[in-house]
Amino acid sequence: MPVLARFIEGAGIPTVTVTMMPDLAAAVLAPRIVGVEFPFGHPFGMPGDRAMQRAVLETGLTVLSGAARFGTRVDVDIEWPVPRAAAYKSWQPEEASPIVAMMLASMKGDGTG
Partner 1 sequence: MDSYRFLPRSFIPLYSQTEPAPGDDGPVWAPFEPRLAEARIALLTSAGLYLDGDQPPFDGEREKAEPTWGDPTHRVLPNPVDPRALGMMHLHLNHEDPLADPEIALPLGGLAALVDEGRVGSVAPNHVSVMGYQQAGLEVWRRETAPAIVELLRDQGTDGLILAPV
Residues that bind partner 1 (CB under 8 A): 1, 3-24, 27-29, 31, 35, 37-48, 50, 53-54, 57-58, 60-61, 64-67, 69-71, 75, 84, 87-88, 90-95, 97-102
Min separation Cβ 113 and partner 1, Å: 19
Cα–Cα distance for residue pair 3/44, rounded to 1 Å: 21
Based on CB atoms, which residue is closest to partner 1, 23 or 81?
A: 23
33 and 73 Cβ atoms separated by less than 8 Å: yes
Min separation Cβ 95 and partner 1, Å: 8
Min separation Cβ 1 and partner 1, Å: 4
Contacts of 82 (CB under 8 A, 6+ apart): 39, 90
32 and 64 Cβ atoms separated by less than 8 Å: yes
